[in-house]
Amino acid sequence: MSHSSLAVIHPEAQIGQNVTIGPFAVIEKDVIIGDNCHIYSHAVILNGARIGNNCTIFPNAVIAGIPQDLKFRGEDSIAEIGNNTTIRECVTVNRGTASRGKTVVGSNCLLMAYSHIAHDCILKDNIIIGNATQLAGEVEVEDHAIISGGCLVHQFVRISSHVMIQGGSRIGKDIPPYTLIGREPIVYCGINIVGLRRRGFTNEQVFLIQDIYRTLYTRGLNNSEALRCIETEYSPSIERDLILNFIKSSTRGIVRGSIDE
């Protein structure tokens, strides 16, 4: 470990091999940091932080701050960060409450400056959270989602995989997989073709996803009717089943279609 003599590191904190800690960083007692991490000056790593390998935490980020939840009563909980994740300046990741006991940010994620991950959020892998985007409590975000800068995400919202959400969006409904979301108020604007191409989706997969969402959003059907059509008109596949299961399990309801369609 290489650390500045000006850093404040509790002697019982568990810190891995080849970790660099800058001056005026603070690391409390109940902290675990994996190998090959870089903790910059003035970063604050509080009790309950569990940080994986190869992570970079920039100045003034705060990991495992107590939840901003009036129901919190000081219970033990954690904030877990996966491997290869970058946390930029002034990001805050609060630890969990009795509801889930933990807040989780997965591996290979990028949390840009001033973003906030509230208590009991669950973020999977390969996610990008844009500058100043704010996630309220118990939000769930699936793999490869991109939430652009300045977004506000209501508590309990679920954002599925491979989505792209326009900057400045206010998100109060669940966002189904593979979609491109934008405008004000937010609506379905198509599928995230660029993201899918970058991740190796074939033409056949892209066309299937497009066709399923045409059934959902452009045939004048309500959700129940559209789901029945999707089940009967399309053979089982990973893409079809992910869309179906996400919509069926939504308790908040999904984002609406564009009025232009």
Residue numbers annotated as active site = 119-120, 137
Q: d(Cα 42, Cα 88) in Å, to the nearest integer?
A: 12
Q: d(Cα 22, Cα 16) in Å, to the nearest integer?
A: 15
Distances (CA, A) of 86 to 39, 97, 195, 227, 257: 10, 24, 20, 38, 34
CA dihedral (183, 150, 68, 35) positive or negative? positive
Q: d(Cα 159, Cα 161) in Å, to the nearest integer?
A: 7
Peptide bond into 236 cis (omega under 30): no
Reading the block at residue 199, the tokens are 């991740």
